[in-house]
Amino acid sequence: MRILQIVPSISLIYGGPSQMVLGLAPALARAGVEVVVLTTDSNGDIDQKPMEVPLNRPVEQDGYQIIYFRCAPFRRYKFSLDLLKWLNRHACEFDLAHIHALFSPVSTAAATVCRISKLPYILRPLGTLDPADLQKKKQLKQLYAAILERPNLAGAAAIHFTSVQEAKISERFGVATQDLMIPIGVIPPQFPLQKGRSVVQSKYGIPEDVPLVLFMSRIDPKKGLNLLIPALEKLLETGLNFHFVLAGTNPQDPDYEQQIKAQIQASPMRSHTTLTGFVTGELKSALLQAADLFVLPSYYENFGIAVAEAMVAGTPVVISDQVHICQEVRDSESGWVSTMDVHSLTELLQTALQNPDERQRRGLRAREYALKNYSWNAIARQTIQAYHRYSR
């Protein structure tokens, strides 16, 4: 079976969508699927340099191939004419395409090429069909959907949602779709769990004897930092001691990122906070392991890959009820689920921070659940079954 994975960028600066493809592709390859990833060299949306990668030719990686194409001329919109030309020439050689994005010019055009070429394709919307997300640039998105994405949704073999809740609330623009529910996988830490704290202490000098609260995600208005920062300030007012690590960036909205940093610098949180910027690799794993609590109070989140990564590292989570794996967190007792208000979030954070034994118990439950349900090998098996069902 020959499968195309098409994604606007696989730079880790973009977070979950890139991580998903970089996790799924090698897992599919291990299971015997021939995988080719088509993507661009985009590495940020404003002043960042493109990825330093070979262009227009296959690059072998972990048992599969990646072909990078120049992203031009407007990198924010991640369009590549060369990618589309390649797809038009080679679509006949593949059994199915898995397209990871909507409302992105290159993925929109790729779906159109697949449809014209009679190549079945699965669309993964990445949360962009969430009514809350559709409110951003509402009129433009309605026009874009009516002209371009509605035919793509109608022509898709299936729409890949990563949670039941995401499928339940997603807009279809009047189109009846075949829905496919497969979660995102995560890779367990590659070094002993106890090593994380020592790595973090060595790097950032964080005190050993205070609980570490970790936010690791894109610094974006939808992530609920306007709830989290006031909640943490209220906890400091009560005399509760902790250290907050804010790990992340926002290549698409650096002004908001600077606003959040300035807010913390002007707050009592300043002396209790470490700002790491974007982290990856061993340092990312170390932070996830070192944390006593992972927090993500998002206004909407179609899955929450960072939550699953914290769980597999054995860290209990505090998330909002708009993170769509909240029911799984509740059922598995992997953490605490808050409503979307400062009072509820403050109370749950206080409960978690004041009960280390309960944090440990929920952390163990989180790791057990994530290893069973979010392993890439298990997800690859589900995905291959779907590919057989929908391929030509």
- Dist CA 31 CA 94 (whole Å): 17
Looking at residue 193, what is its pLDDT? 60
Enumerate residues 6+ apart whose C-beta is below 8 A from 239: none
Strand 273-277: give its sheet, edge to edge.
Answer: 273-277, 243-247, 212-216, 293-296, 317-320, 335-338
* Residue 336: band (very low, low, confident or very high) from pLDDT cuts 50, 70, 90: very high
- Dist CA 125 CA 141 (whole Å): 14
Enumerate residues 6+ apart whose C-beta is below 8 A from 281: none
Q: Which pTM was predicted?
A: 0.83
Looking at residue 191, what is its pLDDT? 63
- Dist CA 181 CA 169 (whole Å): 13
Tokens matching residue 177: 């779709």
Q: What is the dihedral of CA 280, 283, 285, 291, to 10 degrees?
A: -120
**Range with the lowest mean pLDDT among 17-21, 96-100, 307-311?**
17-21
pLDDT in tens, 383-392: 999 999 999 8
Domain 195-373 fold is: Rossmann fold (3.40.50)
More confident residue, 50 or 276: 276
Looking at residue 389, what is its pLDDT? 97
The CATH number of domain 2-185+375-390 is 3.40.50.300: no
Looking at residue 339, what is its pLDDT? 97
* Residue 130: band (very low, low, confident or very high) from pLDDT cuts 50, 70, 90: confident
Query: In degrees, to the nearest 5, what angle opens at C-alpha 381 toward C-alphas 379 and 384?
Result: 110
Asked if 294 and 216 touch (Cβ cutoff 8 Å), the reply is: yes
Which residue in 85, 86, 114 sits closest to 99, CA to CA? Answer: 114
State the span(s) of the chain assigned CATH 3.40.50.2000. Answer: 2-185+375-390, 195-373
* Residue 74: band (very low, low, confident or very high) from pLDDT cuts 50, 70, 90: low
**Range with the lowest mean pLDDT among 9-23, 224-238, 258-272, 338-352?**
9-23
Looking at residue 207, what is its pLDDT? 82
pLDDT, average across residues 284-313: 93
pLDDT beyond 90 at 282: no
Average pLDDT, the chain: 92
- Dist CA 110 CA 35 (whole Å): 17
Enumerate residues 6+ apart whose C-beta is below 8 A from 142: none
Asked if 88 and 111 touch (Cβ cutoff 8 Å), the reply is: no
Enumerate residues 6+ apart whose C-beta is below 8 A from 78: 8, 9, 40, 42, 71, 104, 105, 106
- Dist CA 159 CA 168 (whole Å): 12
pLDDT beyond 90 at 196: no
pLDDT beyond 80 at 296: yes
Percentage with pLDDT > 70 across the chain: 96
Enumerate residues 6+ apart whose C-beta is below 8 A from 138: none
* Residue 47: band (very low, low, confident or very high) from pLDDT cuts 50, 70, 90: low
- Dist CA 154 CA 173 (whole Å): 10
* Residue 249: band (very low, low, confident or very high) from pLDDT cuts 50, 70, 90: very high
pLDDT beyond 80 at 134: yes
Looking at residue 310, what is its pLDDT? 95
The CA–CA distances, whole Å, from 49 to 6, 80, 107, 108 equal: 21, 16, 22, 24
Looking at residue 37, what is its pLDDT? 98
